[in-house]
């Protein structure tokens, strides 16, 4: 009535690339848990750089001590999983230099981890980095980056909320 409106906190509708690299269709990832969409929907990126960033702002609801996986819960309740590499949990943290801890509040573009991609590759693991929305029923997304497209960390929009 008087124009007094509770100011809402800004919530990203665009997910920025977690790493510089080449986009890859999730369906092409060599892990059925991801390629068949069992955990949600999103995109994969084959990294060409070693720094990985938060695609959205939120709370780190999960940080694996091995450094290979992160869960971010956005202010609106969206749940995003970032998984670096295929079966890289087997490395037990080798090659992953964590920059954050669980329950930290991150802003879109904050550094999460620095990875030694050579360590991962030379151990026989793929570096495909998966970014998925796990509660896709509540937060449907559009895939913006296409298979084979170059993406730039913190700049390229890879996903958008519908």
Residues with a known catalytic role: 83
What is the helix (H) or strand (E) element at residue 131, kind and residue range?
Answer: strand 129-133
CA distance 56 to 109: 7
Decide: residue 118, CB within 10 A, 0-12 exposed, 13-18 middle, 19+ buried.
exposed
CB 46 within 8 A of CB 21: yes
Cβ-proximal residues to 36 (8 Å cutoff; 6+ apart), any chain: none
Number of residues written out for the chain: 162
Residue with tokens 């709370």: 59
């Amino acid at each position: 009535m008087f124009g007094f409106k509770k100011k809402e906190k800004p919530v990203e509708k665009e997910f920025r690339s977690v790493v510089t690299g080449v986009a890859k269709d999730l369906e092409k990832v060599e892990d059925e848990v991801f390629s068949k969409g069992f955990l949600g929907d999103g995109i994969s990126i084959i990294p060409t750089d070693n720094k990985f960033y938060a695609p959205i702002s939120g709370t780190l609801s999960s940080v694996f001590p091995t450094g290979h996986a992160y869960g971010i819960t956005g202010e609106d309740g969206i749940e995003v999983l970032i998984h670096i590499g295929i079966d890289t949990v087997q490395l037990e943290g080798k090659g992953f230099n964590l920059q954050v801890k669980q329950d930290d509040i991150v802003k879109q573009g904050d550094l999460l981890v620095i990875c030694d991609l050579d360590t991962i590759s030379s151990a026989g693991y793929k570096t495909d980095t998966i970014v998925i929305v796990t509660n896709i029923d509540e937060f449907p997304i559009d895939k913006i980056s296409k298979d084979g497209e170059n993406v730039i960390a913190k700049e390229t929009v890879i996903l958008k909320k519908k």
